[in-house]
């Protein structure tokens, strides 16, 4: 029973930390902020996450697992369907104008993050870029995606456009601005757009 309670507390801490990360940024919340929302002492947070770096790494691991799980659900789809699923996932992030993509926050705060978090973030970026390049390559082979630059360069352009679109949508309070970015990305990639 005690393990179940500890697990629930750990999950609640991560849930609150994720919400604060998405709305404030990693450097803009403290264990005190979390303890007030969860209703526990700071020492209880330190029990689960001795340092804020440990908490940040746990959040990155959690997000990575979520994205990996998402990707496994679209792997059997066509390249076009996978790209559309990626766009849809991105649009879901901005369903509330106060939220921002976790990796967008981490990218913005990159140089202020502990080294281990920087490395975990870079590892995620490499996986995302390889995944995007792979579906772009498959789509080119099937004749459904335009061949502009290398798949790797095109993947970087797509990721940058989406990340920028998320930032603009959030800071302007206009989620439709992300839709405009995604429409432009579609037109730059799809043969029949």
Which SS3 state, helix, strand or coil, does residue 149 take? Answer: coil
Cα atoms found within 13 Å of the Cα of residue 178, Cβ hemisphere only? 29
Quote the pLDDT of residue 142: 96
Which SS3 state, helix, strand or coil, does residue 192 take? Answer: coil
Which SS3 state, helix, strand or coil, does residue 88 take? Answer: helix
Quote the pLDDT of residue 83: 96
With both helix axes pointing from N to C terminus, report the angle between 151-172 and 176-189 in degrees, rounded to the nearest 10. 160
Provide the whole-model pTM: 0.86
Quote the pLDDT of residue 98: 62
Query: In 3D, which of 75, 73, 70 has the Cα closest to residue 89?
Result: 70
Which residues of the chain, if any, have pLDDT below 70? Answer: 1-4, 95-99, 193
- The DSSP call for residue 190 is B
Quote the pLDDT of residue 96: 57
Q: Which residues pair with 145 in a beta bridge?
A: 190
Quote the pLDDT of residue 150: 96
Which SS3 state, helix, strand or coil, does residue 76 take? Answer: coil
Contact residues for 189 (Cβ-Cβ < 8 A; gap 6+):
83, 136, 139, 145, 146, 154, 158
Quote the pLDDT of residue 102: 82
Sign of the CA dihedral running 167, 120, 7, 37: negative
User: Which CATH architecture describes the domain 1-50?
Assistant: Orthogonal Bundle (1.10)
Quote the pLDDT of residue 12: 96
Q: Nearest 5°: phi and psi at 12? A: -65, -40
Q: Could you tell me the two tokens for 59?
A: 């959040």
Quote the pLDDT of residue 1: 47
Quote the pLDDT of residue 193: 65
Q: How far is 146 from 140, CA to CA, in rounded Å?
A: 6
Query: Which superfamily is assigned to 59-189 in CATH?
Result: Tetracycline Repressor, domain 2 (1.10.357.10)
Quote the pLDDT of residue 170: 82
Give domain limits for the chain. 1-50, 59-189
């Amino acid at each position: 029973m005690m393990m179940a309670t500890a697990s629930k507390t750990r999950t609640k801490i991560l849930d609150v930390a994720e919400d604060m990360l998405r709305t404030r940024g990693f450097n803009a919340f403290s264990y005190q902020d979390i303890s007030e929302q969860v209703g526990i002492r700071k020492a209880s947070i330190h029990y689960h996450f001795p340092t804020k770096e440990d908490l940040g790494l746990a959040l990155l691991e959690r997000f990575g697992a979520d994205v990996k799980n998402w990707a496994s659900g679209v792997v059997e789809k066509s390249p076009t369907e996978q790209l559309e699923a990626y766009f849809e996932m991105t649009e879901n992030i901005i369903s509330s104008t106060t939220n921002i993509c976790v990796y967008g926050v981490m990218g913005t705060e990159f140089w202020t993050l502990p080294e281990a978090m920087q490395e975990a973030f870079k590892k995620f970026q490499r996986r995302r870029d390889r995944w995007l390049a792979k579906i772009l390559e498959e789509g080119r082979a099937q004749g459904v995606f335009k061949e502009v630059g290398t798949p790797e360069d095109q993947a970087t352009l797509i990721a940058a456009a989406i990340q920028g679109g998320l930032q603009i949508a959030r800071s302007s309070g206009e989620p439709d601005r992300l839709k405009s970015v995604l429409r432009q990305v579609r037109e730059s990639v799809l043969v029949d757009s």
